[in-house]
Chain A
C-alpha cells in the first residue's frame, strides 16, 4: 500500500473547488465514525440530512464510494476521508457491514470483467469496420485535396487567418470519423500568425497530415505496426478485444509525469509511466467529463505493480493498465539529453507521427540566454524550454540546484511536467 501524502490525495480532486471542500471536511469532528483495516478506509460524514453519508475508499487503487448525491467524483467526502487517512488520523477498526458488502461487489465485478466476453458477430463487425474505413478514405481524400489547395494558394492567404476556415473543414473530418485529423487541423489553424516561424510550423503540421492521407491510401501495402500507427493518428479507437491476446508487460511502474488539458468540454490526461525492470516508457491516455476524476486514478510520484498491455504500433508507447497493486515511491530514471535524442530518432523512424516523447533528465539545471530558457543536463547539453514553462516556480522549487526533470519532448521544445527535488515529486 502506498504512503499517500496530502498533496497526492488532493491531486485526485476533479477540480479546485472539490479540493477545497475536501480540505474543509478533513476534520474528525465532521465524522460520526471513522475507521480503516489497511485495505479499506471508511467513515460516516455528518451532513445536513438526518442520516450521515457513508463514505469508503478501497485503498489498493484507490477507488471511492459515497452515498452523498454529489456528481463530482471523487466527492468532497471521499477526499476528506482520504486526507484524514493520509494524515494518520483514522484509527484501525473492524470493517462494517456496508463496507464489506461494497468490497464483495467489487470482487464480483472484477471477476465478471475478467471473464471472456461473448464475441460479437464477426461478419457484422467486419462490415462496420469496412464502412468506417470507406468514410475515412473519402474524408482523407478530401483532406489531401484541401491541403494541396492550401499550399497552392499560399499560407499567407487571408482566409487562413480566419478560424472559421479551419473549423469548417475540421468538422468535415469529424463526419469522416477521423477525430485525430480534426484535432490536428484545429491546432494548425491556431498556429497561423502565432509568432515568429509560424509558417514553418503550419507547413510541418500540414506535411504530417498529408503523410497520413498518403499512408492511408496505401494502407494494405504497409506493415502491421505502421498500419496501427496510421489508425491511431486518425483517431480510430482501439477496442478492448483488439488488445486481447497481446503479451502484457509486468513491471513496477512509476507515474512519472502528467499533462492535463481540456478539449471540447472534456478533460484529457496523458500520463507517462516508467517501468523500473523493463526500463520501458508507457503512456496512458485518460478521458473524463469536466468535474469528474480520471479513471484509473494515477498520481505523480507513486509506483504500482501492474501488467500493461501496449497498443500495437511501430514504437509502442500507449498502454492500458490491468489490475494493479500500489507500492512505495521511488527515484526517477536517470537520463541525459543525448540518450533521449538518440531514442527519439529511433522512435520517429518507426513512427513519424509521434507528437510527444517521454524525457527524464537527471541533475538538470536551468539557464537563460538573451531570448529564452533552457534545461541543461549533467553533461552540459541543453534543450530549449517550452515557452509556457513556469520557470520561476521551477527555480523556486529547485533553488537553482540540480534536480530530476521529467516531461515531454516534441522535437522542438522540452515541456517539463514533473520535478523531483528533496525526494519529493511535484507536478509543474
Chain B
C-alpha cells in the first residue's frame, strides 16, 4: 500500500470515476471501476488508520507559569461557572469580592474571564486582578488576549501610535510626571491636528496645576472651538487664572444675595450679550435661551467652595433660595455643573439629598462623586418617601447597605408599595443585602409569587457566593 495509491483513489473520486477511468481499474477487468475504487479505498483507509505513525512536529515550548502568591478559591468554582454561564450581572460582585479578599479565581474559569475582559474594557483591571498571576500568564500565551497585558510603551506609542494609543501614552505619563507630559505636548503642539490638540489638552485635567496655565491660555486663541472649550474648562479650575477671575466676576455680578425685610433674598440677572470665552462651552442647559444657558455655564465655572465663600451659603441652601425665581432652573443647573466640574463630593451629596424629592437628568454624573456613606441616609429617606424618584435606587450598582435593604423590604413588601412597585424584583435582588433574606422570606406576601421566585433564585446565590469567598479567604 503506497501513499500514491490513496492519492490516486482520492483524485479519482473527486473528478469522478465515470469521467476518467482510473489506472488501477485495468488490473481487474470485469469489475466496474466504482466498485474497485470504493473497495480499494475501504482497504486503504483502514490500513492508513491502523498504521498511523506519530509525527514529530517542531513544537513551540510553553513557558512555565509563575507561582501564584494568592490563594485560589476552589470552593467558589461552581458558583463562578454558573455566573459565567447565566448570571453575568452578578459576576462583577463576585470578582470585586474576590479581589477585595485577596483570593484568585480557579483556573478553569480563566479563559472565560479573559474573553470577558476583551469585551468589557472597563472591567479589565478587575478581571486581570481576579485571575491572578497564572491567568495573566495564560493571557500572555494567547495572541488574542495579548492586548489585555500590553504595557504602554510611552515613547513608541507617542511617536508612532494612533490617537487612542497616543492619548493613553500621554495620560500614563501625566499620572506619573505631570510636568514632563505638559512639556511633551508643548513640543508637538504646533504640528498636532485640531482633534489631537483638543484630546491631548483634556489629558491635562489629571494633575492640573498653575504650571499648565501658559499652555492653556495659549490654547484660548486656538482656531479650533473644541480646543478653546477644553482650555476654558480647565482654566476655570486653576485659581487665579484670567478665565477663573472672569468667571467669578460674571457669576457674582449675575447672582447675588441681598437682605430684605423678610430675610435674605437672591437676585439673578442674565449676563450681557457681549462675547466671552464662556460662549464656547456647550454643556446642556435644558429649556434655556442663549443668555440663560450662558449664565448657567458661567455659574458652573465657579467652584462650590467659592460659591460658599462668596455667599456664605452652602450648595443646598443656595438651591433652596432660588425658589420659584424665573431663572431658578438656570441657577440650579449651573450649581450642578459646578459640583460635577470641580468633582466636589459634599456639593454632590447635597444635590443628591435635594434630588431625593426631585430627580434630575444629571443624576448619573453626580452619583459617582457621592460616597456610599454619605448617601445611605438619603437613600433610606428616598425609600421611605412615596416619591416617584424611587427607581433612582437602581443607579447604584453596588450592593445596598443592611439599613437600606431593610427599609426597602419594609416598603416593597407592604400593600402601599408606591413607586417602588416599578422596580423589577430581580433588579432589587441583585442589590439587596443578602443578610436580609430571612426577614424578606418571612414577610413576603403569597400573592407576590414572581417576586418570591426571583428572590429565591438570586439572593441565596449571592449570599452563598459572598460567604464562600469570605470563608475561604480567611483560611
Contacts and interface: CB of A to CB of B under 8 A. Distances in A.
A7 interface: yes
B24 to A, nearest CB: 13
B22 to A, nearest CB: 10
Given A48-B449, A206-B41, A6 B46 contact: no
Interface stretch (B103-111, B237-245, B420-428): B103-111
Given A382-B57, A396-B138, A397-B107, A348 B49 contact: yes
A16 B86 contact: yes
A17 B82 CA distance: 10
Contact of A382 (B14, B45, B54, B61): B54
A157 interface: yes
B58 interface: yes
Given A204-B45, A382-B55, A392-B142, A156 B86 contact: no
B15 A154 contact: yes
Contact of A157 (B16, B35, B48, B460): B16
Nearest to B77: A7
Interface stretch (A20-28, A54-62, A249-257): A20-28
Interface residues of B, number: 67
B30 to A, nearest CB: 15
A19 interface: yes
Interface residues of A, number: 67
B51 A345 contact: yes
Contact of B134 (A348, A383, A399): A399
B59 A151 contact: no
B60 interface: yes
A349 B57 CA distance: 28
Given A154-B16, A156-B15, A368 B60 contact: yes
A17 to B, nearest CB: 8
A156 B14 CA distance: 5
Interface in A239-253: none
Interface in A336-369: 337-338, 341, 344-345, 348-349, 352, 365-369
B28 to A, nearest CB: 15
A202 B63 CA distance: 39
A138 interface: no
A64 B17 CA distance: 58
B10 interface: yes
B254 to A, nearest CB: 59
A9 to B, nearest CB: 9
A382 B56 contact: yes
Interface in A370-425: 374, 376, 380-384, 390, 392-393, 395-397, 399-401, 411-412
A412 B51 CA distance: 11
B52 A390 contact: no
A200 B10 contact: yes
B39 to A, nearest CB: 7
Contacts of A153: 16, 18
Chain B binding site: helix, strand, loop or mixed by DSSP? helix
B17 A152 contact: yes
Given A203-B41, A368-B60, A352 B46 contact: yes
B45 A27 contact: no
A7 B82 CA distance: 11
A208 interface: yes
Contacts of B138: 392, 395-396
Contacts of A380: 56
Interface string B32-50: 1111011101101110111
Contact of B78 (A23, A147, A384, A395): A23
B45 A390 contact: no
A148 to B, nearest CB: 4
A93 interface: no
Nearest to B10: A200
A382 B49 contact: no
21 contacts: A20-B87, A23-B78, A24-B456, A29-B441, A148-B34, A149-B34, A151-B38, A152-B18, A154-B13, A154-B14, A155-B16, A199-B10, A199-B13, A208-B45, A352-B42, A366-B62, A367-B62, A380-B56, A396-B111, A399-B65, A426-B108
Given A376-B59, A399-B134, 9 more contacts: A153-B18, A154-B17, A155-B14, A349-B50, A368-B62, A374-B59, A392-B111, A397-B107, A412-B49
Closest 3 CB pairs of A and B: A154-B16, A411-B49, A367-B59
